Structure 1
Amino acid sequence: LSLFNELESVKAKDLKIGDMLIKGGSPGHIVILCDEVVNDKGEKLFLLFQGNTPAQSVHLVKNLENSSISPWYQLEDDAVVPVSNYTFSNAKFVRFK
């Protein structure tokens, strides 16, 4: 919750490896952007890691909504992003300074 409230938002078009998708709350959730690919048009796809609570081993998240690009995700502002055990809505992208 504190990260959601304290970190500044990042627009999807400006995402970088290490940025996070976060939903504040109790419980909230967070995934970390761990890799990206970019096509000739500049369109990006991202790999996501998560660890869950209590602290567990970090693992790669499958894209359950789009098996044609899984495990990659296409991320957009205000998108609903489902991961294996959580669905992000009303979430935001953030970055540590």
Structure 2
Amino acid sequence: MYNYTFWISLSQELKTITSVKNLKIGYVLIKGGSPGHIVILADEVINDRGEKLFLLFQGNTPAQSVHLVKNLEDTSISPWYNLEIDAVIPVSNYTFYDSKFARFK
């Protein structure tokens, strides 16, 4: 049995990001809970209009090697993700509902 209280604690301690335009590499998409889940914003591209796409990395519990997440919902831009605040964001083995983006303090 694994201790999932880590996701709850981490979710409460991180600083919430409230605007997509403020998302940066190294920030996370997190769902606190038991179980919870987290992915890391690993890279970004920005077009001439300032719109961003992101690459996501994830591991799993118990700890595993980190890997790039494919965008299974929009294969035309995969592995890139067009992220939105409070959106439903499916990743390979988890779906974030009411997504919360955060950063370490």
TM over 0.5: yes
Q: Does 1:5 align with 2:24?
A: no
Distance 1:53 1:59 in 2: 13
Identity %: 76
Q: Is the 8 A contact 1:24 1:91 kept in 2?
A: no
Q: Does 1:16 align with 2:24?
A: yes
When Rg is computed on C-alpha atoms for both structures, the one with the higher figure is: 2
The normalised TM-score by structure 2 is 0.90
Structure with the larger RCO, 1 or 2 (CA within 8 Å, 6+ apart): 1
Residue 28 of structure 1 corresponds to which residue in structure 2?
A: 36
Q: CA RMSD in A?
A: 0.7
Q: Does 1:59 align with 2:67?
A: yes
Distance 1:90 1:35 in 2: 22
**Equivalent of 1:45, from 49, 53, 58?**
53
Q: How many residues align?
A: 97
SS in 2 for 1:27: coil
How far residue 8 of structure 1 moved from its aligned partner, in angstroms, is 1.5
In the alignment, residue 39 of structure 1 is paired with which amino acid?
Answer: N
